[in-house]
Amino acid sequence: MANSSDRLDGLFHALSDPTRRAVLRRLGRGPASVTDLAEPFAMALPSFLKHVRVLEESGCIRTVKRGRVRFCTLEKKSFGEVENWLRGERAAWEEQTDRLEAFAVAQARGEDD
């Protein structure tokens, strides 16, 4: 379970930064070179490569070097893990709000628990 928790921690860490989210958004349209991905950002390439490393280590992207160019592709299966976690959390939240609603209705009617 710790492995799954560590993996989710890494995914949420990767998603926590606006630069990395923008890179993921761009990769949603298809693979791109690191140079092309870095172009819209006002930062040095070594700084941008740190973002690429975080995304790769989290499993959000995969990189492949062809000649002197490194290309990035989105790893969509990683987002399924986040989606599954959120689905479970949503179910728990809905269950709690359903219980709260039932309690409030019972209180309004003057019923005891």
Angstrom distances, CA of residue 54 to CA of 38, 44, 104, 108, 113: 14, 16, 46, 51, 50
At residue 97, the pLDDT reads 74
Residue with tokens 């939240």: 93
Domain boundaries, the chain: 2-108
- Among 1.10.10.10, 3.30.365.10, 1.10.730.10, 3.40.630.30, what is the CATH number of 2-108? 1.10.10.10
Residue 86, pLDDT above cutoff 50: yes
At residue 98, the pLDDT reads 66
Residue 113, pLDDT above cutoff 60: no
Q: For residue 13, give the amino acid letter.
A: H
CA nearest to 100, candidates 90, 110, 113, 89: 113
CA nearest to 78, candidates 112, 17, 28: 28
